[in-house]
Structure 1
Amino acid sequence: MAVPAAPKDVDAVFAAMTPPVEACARELRALVFDVAETEGLAAPEETLRWGEPAYLPGKSGTAVRITADKSREGCKVLVHCQTSLVETWRARFSDRLGFEGNRAVLVPASEDIDREALAICIADALTYRKKKEPARG
């Protein structure tokens, strides 16, 4: 799936970021849409939540938000703090990704993003509810 044009309000949030952070955030945005396609999901709904670009996967998962990390000159990929996602990712990727609390993956704008690890994290979020449902049969 081609990455759709961002809604004007979302695009304005990205455009207000410093150039390196904006590039990082837009790369993460494209990765969200790539992962949705790879997972066989519909394109997530793109909107603003708490003034941050948010990607809503519908009933299959939990929202992914992308925001500037002003204290570290990078981006954050945020998920709902009451999920176990960040704990799982920390156990799996602590040598490859940075984390903040139980809700964010830290992505420095000064480095190439770890697309492989971040794609797994995003896929986990977009399919979180789907994977938690008991198998029927």
Structure 2
Amino acid sequence: MTQTPAIPDDILAALDALPNSARPVLVRLRGVIFDVASTVPGAGVVSETLKWGQPSYAVSTGTPLRVGVTKTGIPSLFVHCQTSVVSDARSVLATDLLFEGNRAVLVAQDTAFPEAALRQVIHAALSYRLTR
């Protein structure tokens, strides 16, 4: 597992504005994103910024990911809705993950963290441009 960088102040402020119960899940997702990015050939450095008030993670080889909560407060991994990342994941991981439309993977707090399945989705997003 790669070393996850310290959380920048603007990202920390965005996370602090979310429900206390969601933060540990989103921080864990952040760590998995950095770890998976280190395995994608040519991905380079992860750009961590705020997009629409949510932490966003981008590499040159993929489509950006955001972490946040749904309108109902469920921690989620958001993917650009015009990609096939979520629909592809749904076709192979429907028994392991929950989805919202074509843009989000929901990470329910009352179940075990589905890290293996999330790693697959994150890898697909961060390598999206390599496969198209």
Question: TM-score normalised to the size of structure 1?
Answer: 0.89
Larger radius of gyration: 1
Matches of 1:70 and 1:100, distance apart in 2: 11
Task: Give structure 1 stretches of 5+ with no counterpart.
Answer: 133-137
Aligned length: 130
SS of 1:65's equivalent in the other structure is strand
- Overall identity of the aligned pairs, in %: 38
> What residue in structure 2 maps to residue 43 of structure 1?
45
**Structure 2 segments unaligned to the other structure (5+ residues):** none
Please state which structure has a larger fraction of its residues in helix.
1
RMSD: 1.3
Q: How does 1:65-84 map to 2 (within 5 A)?
A: 65-71=66-72, 73-84=73-84
SS for the counterpart of 1:13 is: helix
Q: Distance in 1 between matches of 2:74 and 2:22?
A: 5
Residues 1-137 of structure 1: matches in 2 within 5 Å? 1-40=2-41, 41-58=43-60, 60-71=61-72, 73-132=73-132
What TM-score do the two structures reach when normalised by structure 2?
0.92
Query: Structure 1, residues 99-134: CA drift from partner, whole Å, max 9, x if none?
Result: 0111111111232211000001000000001111xx
Amino acid at match of 1:66: V
Work out the CA distance in 1 between the residues paired with 2:70 and 2:80.
Answer: 17
Q: Once the two structures are superposed, what CA deviation does each residue of 1:67-116 show, in whole Å capped at 9, x if it has no partner?
A: 12341x43111111111111101111111100011111111123221100
